[in-house]
Amino acid sequence: MYQYHTLPNGIRIIFRQNDSVVTHSGVYINIGSRDEDISRQGIAHFIEHSVFKGTSHRRSYHILNRIDGVGGELNAFTTKEETCIYASSLSIHLQRCLELFADILFHSTFPEREIEKEKEVILEEINSYKDSPADLIYDDFEEYIFGDHPLAHNILGSKRNVKRFTSDDLHAFMRDYYTTDRMVISIVGKADFKRVVHLCERYFGDYPLRASAADRSVKPVCKPFNLTVNRHTHQMHAMVGCAAPSIYDERKVAFSLLNNIVGGPAMNSRLNVAIREKYGFCYTIESQFTPFSDAGLFYIYAGIDADARQHFIELVRRELHRLADQRLSTIQLHAAKQQYVGQMAINNELSLNEMQSIGKSCLTFEHVDTLEEMQRDIEAVTAAEICTLAGDLFNDDAMSVLVYK
């Protein structure tokens, strides 16, 4: 199903063929905000914006018009551990997408005039983010629980740092960190794999193999906390969470299933039924599991009525304790597995999601599991494993609480 190739310089390629007239392609780089030191917090995100501002071959307008001009879409994002530049286009335009990716990754010039304009854009992004407590609370939660570790840092960085970044700073960071050993080209679309490899060799093959300066040897430690912050919001925002398995932890599959049972996207999640449907004092309630390379976080978020704060926290703890104290029945476990597999299948039905998913998986594991392989792993999870995980991780002493009021 998936086809792989590695260029001599270490850049990996993963491809899945389909019959769509639209192809989704992207380059994943295993560099994110956790790889920044204090003086450069926010630079990975700044680079993600600025690679579109000019290369030695193109000005900003020509970069933006290269894909958009043929009806495609060009975009990028930064996380704490990855950066991705990607495009969706008619399949006949795959070549121009790959050529453009190589141009902006290896030939960006970061013109000072364009950099100064982009600073204003990012400063406004920071301002708008601060005006959205439902988003901001996630970053604040990670900052408090990870303390002084680089994973605690906000991806956007500080206004102070953004204002003083220069073209030289961006060049230096890219030179040191955006190296071929940390790149994966991911493609889902209608193409011949031999042609895909040929195009990747043509546009990416001439750059030398270099190792990145990134150092992730310091493992983060989660420090439980209980904090209320006065942000004068109309609605109270609450988050409860704890440490969780890392992306390499053998318990990751079982915990992913457990998270889906607790507060996944389905309306029949434990939290939605026990809190939103039964009491009606929150509009949104959900849980998330975010695994990093050497740590993981589990969060429960809800926007609630101010008078319901204590009741909400008690109900959350009750539901988490139930999962630790009462094993799922055979019927409950089977239903939970069916639901989770179905959700994954629907998510990957969107080819853009699949391109991003397989790119990240190849970046992390150098291999992508098929849906059948993922289903096999999920089916192997037992009720005892779920119960043990809940007991180990969902204890009150390990739980952190952050409330905006």
Helix (H, G, I), strand (E, B) or coil at 339: helix
Sheet holding 83-90, edge to edge: 3-6, 12-17, 183-189, 22-29, 83-90, 73-78
Q: Any bridge partners for residue 108, and if so which? A: 55
Q: What is the DSSP letter of 190?
A: S
Structure tokens at 332: 């409950």
Q: Provide the 10 A C-beta neighbour count for residue 82.
A: 21
| Annotated catalytic residue, options 36, 48, 81, 118 | 48
CA 302 from chain centre, in angstroms, equals 20
Which strand (E) or helix (H) includes residue 204? helix 193-204
Residue 249 phi/psi, 5-degree rounding, is -70, 135
For the chain, report the end-to-end CA distance as a whole number of angstroms. Answer: 50
How is domain 3-204 classified at the CATH fold level?
Answer: Cytochrome Bc1 Complex; Chain A, domain 1 (3.30.830)
User: For residue 405, what pLDDT is reported?
Assistant: 87
Tell me if 3-204 shares its fold with 226-404.
yes
Q: For residues 62 and 8, what is the distance between their CA atoms, to the nearest angstrom?
A: 30
Is residue 48 part of the annotated active site? The answer reads yes
Structure tokens at 9: 């310089």
In which residue are the tokens 């995980």 written? 389
DSSP secondary structure string for all residues of 9-47 = TS-EEEEEE---SEEEEEEEES--GGG--GGGTTHHHHH
pTM score = 0.93
DSSP secondary structure string for all residues of 284-303 = EEEEEEEE-SS-EEEEEEEE
User: For residue 265, what pLDDT is reported?
Assistant: 87
Residue 127 phi/psi, 5-degree rounding, is -60, -45
Question: What CATH class is the domain 226-404?
Answer: alpha beta
> What is the residue extent of each domain of the chain?
3-204, 226-404
Q: Are 405 and 230 in contact (CB under 8 A)?
A: yes
Per-residue model confidence as pLDDT tens for the chain (405 residues): 899 999 999 999 999 999 999 999 999 999 999 999 999 999 999 999 999 999 999 999 999 999 999 999 999 999 999 999 999 999 999 999 999 999 999 999 999 999 999 999 999 999 998 888 989 999 999 999 999 999 999 999 999 999 999 999 999 999 999 999 999 999 999 999 999 999 999 999 999 998 888 899 999 999 999 999 998 888 899 999 999 999 999 999 999 999 999 999 888 899 988 888 888 878 889 999 999 999 999 999 999 887 888 888 999 999 999 999 999 999 999 999 999 999 999 988 899 999 999 999 999 999 999 999 999 999 999 999 999 999 999 999 999 999 998
Max distance between CA atoms of the chain, in angstroms, equals 63
